[in-house]
Amino acid sequence: MTLKLSKTFRISVCVIVVAILAVAVLFATGIISTVKNTQESANSPESAKVAEKELFSFIDIEGWRKGPSNATSMAVFGNDDLTKVSPCFISVEYKKGTVDENKKHLDNLETLTETGDFDVEELQAATLGMQTTKGKATYSLHLLRLNSSGGQDIMSGNGLGYLQLSDGYIKITANCNTAEELPSTFPALESIKIDTF
């Protein structure tokens, strides 16, 4: 048995199919246009300025992972395993102006000892480098062992350094559970690059 469709029904089906195809073409064109505009805006000078906002980058090295970062600072953690607490972390922060490194170091020692909660032992400073767009710049990282007189659980390994640039300076910190672990931060610190100077 054959089913005969009226001419009107066949025309209606064709009109519906053509309308669906037209909507599909318009929808696909809109998506393609939106994707193209999104790609063009991602490559625009305005978005390039947004991308330039982060001053620091980290060259991945085994045992370290990049943490939070923003336009002027970045943290790096000393454990690739996110389920474990890191024994060490480092941070860098850009600040405007000039820095008196010796004064900052003495102020830090005074702050730590004045609280009365810490015995501070100065260790030998380490000379490290940071990659810049103008090459490697060196700085001193002052290393300390902090002992809590109150028996508090603290990260007793502490490092603090400053790198003067032509337009501001970088504050560099290293913190570890123990002072003996501080040298493990050196490769990570030297894997940080400041991208705009």
Q: What one-character-per-residue DSSP string does 132-163 give? A: ETTEEEEEEEEEEEEEETT------EEEEEEE
Structure tokens at 155: 């990260």
Q: What is the pLDDT of residue 34?
A: 39
Residues near 91 by beta carbon (within 8 Å), at least 6 away in sequence: 73, 74, 75, 76, 172, 173
**Three-class SS of residue 101?**
helix
Sign of CA dihedral 13, 16, 17, 18: positive
Give the rounded distance of the alpha carbon of 192 from its chain centre.
10
Tell me the per-residue pLDDT of 94-151, one tens digit each, with 9 for 90 and over.
999 999 999 999 998 888 888 767 788 999 999 999 998 888 999 999 999 998 776 6
Task: Give 60-96 pLDDT, tens digit per residue.
Answer: 888 899 999 999 999 999 976 767 778 899 999 999 9
Residue 63 identity (one-letter amino acid): G
